[in-house]
Amino acid sequence: MTKLSVNINKLATLRNARGHNRPDILQAARDIERFGAEGITVHPRPDERHIRYQDVRDLKPIVTTELNVEGNPTPDFVALCREVRPEQVTLVPDAPDAITSNSGWDVVTHQQFLRDVVAELKSFGCRVSIFLDPDVRLVEAAASTGTDRIELYTEAYAVQYLADREAAVAPYRATAARAGQLGLGVNAGHDLDLDNLAFLHQQLPELAEVSIGHALVCDALYLGLENTVQLYRRQLR
């Protein structure tokens, strides 16, 4: 079964726009879980443009499914994970000024660094996932870091989906299959939406979890949050 983890970054973007606590993202997280999400994902970036470090601290005691904290493992980020001990940490190689995540890890060049970070995060009791481009050649190096899972970076899939979905999904199928052979769990995320999610799910039997935020929040503006969470859940049946 593939779990839906809802990324609430964009709810924090809206909250921060007026400087008060509306929407209340803690209440939103409770409600999103009640609507059927099987996880809450947050990506506290160094500039705290949306999710703040304090949000992560506040979310941990109220999330009853799984809290997935994404980020580049800077010393501050690792210290936050040591303090909060989320169920899952997803390592993303974002530059501090990146408008959004735009690549997976070069796990060959950063293999020792990642090996050390993964070991430290696992010592906190966190499951670790590494954000990875869909390239089967990277999977062995990813596995050598000791990570529990990879998260397939699905922007390229989303871009190509409408033009040629079979070609779009092919590298993801190969990478997921190799990961499964090496005992790695497979997550996926970035630019997944109500158009492209079901086919990805159908094509990747190894898929343990998808984390979805931007499109889901945009859809909720028209369709309502409860209805939208359930629409995304139905794409994973």
Ligand X SMILES: CC(=O)[C@@H](O)[C@H](O)COP(=O)(O)O
What is d(CA 13, CA 43) in angstroms, rounded to the nearest whole number? 12
Does the active-site annotation cover 140? no
What is d(CA 95, CA 27) in angstroms, rounded to the nearest whole number? 30
Q: Which is nearer to ligand X, 185 or 189 (CB)?
A: 189
Does the active-site annotation cover 201? no
What is d(CA 124, CA 93) in angstroms, rounded to the nearest whole number? 21
Provide the token pair at 227. Answer: 């209805």
Does the active-site annotation cover 43? yes
Find where tokens 């996880």 sit. Answer: 39
Q: Which of 33, 66, 151, 190 is catalytic?
A: 190
Q: What would the x/- binding string for ligand X be over residues 172 to 201, using CB under 6 A?
A: -----------------xx-----------
Shortest gap between Cβ of 45 and ligand X (angstroms)?
A: 6
Q: Which is nearer to ligand LD2JLWAY, 19 or 23 (CB)?
A: 23
State which amino acid sits at residue 52.
Answer: R
Binds 228: which of ligand LD2JLWAY, ligand X, none (CB < 5-8 Å by kind): none
Provide the token pair at 15. Answer: 């909250």
Contact 126, 161 (CB under 8 A): no
Burial 165-196 (b: 16+ CB within 10 A, else e): beebbebbbebbebbbeeebbbbbbbbbbbeb
| Total of residues contacting ligand X (CB under 6 A) | 12
Q: Which of 70, 151, 206, 209 is catalytic?
A: 70
Q: Which is nearer to ligand X, 100 or 181 (CB)?
A: 100
Q: Is 50 annotated as a binding residue?
A: yes
Alpha helices in 60-164 (DSSP H): 75-84, 111-123, 139-143, 155-161
Closest by Cα among 114, 122, 192 to 152: 192
Q: Which is nearer to ligand X, 66 or 166 (CB)?
A: 66
The phi, psi pair for 68, rounded to 5°, reads: -110, 115
Strand, coil or helix: 217: helix
* Chosen residue from 21, 64, 74, 100 binding ligand X by CB under 6 A: 100
Which residues here bind ligand LD2JLWAY, judged by CB under 6 A? Answer: 7, 41, 70, 151, 189-192, 211-215
* Residue ranges at the known binding site for 3-amino-2-oxopropyl phosphate: 7, 18, 191, 213-214
Question: Any idea which residues carry the catalytic annotation?
Answer: 43, 70, 190
Q: Rule CB under 6 A: which residues touch ligand X? A: 7, 9, 43, 70, 92, 100-101, 131, 189-190, 213-214
Residues making up the binding site: 7, 18, 45, 50, 100, 191, 213-214
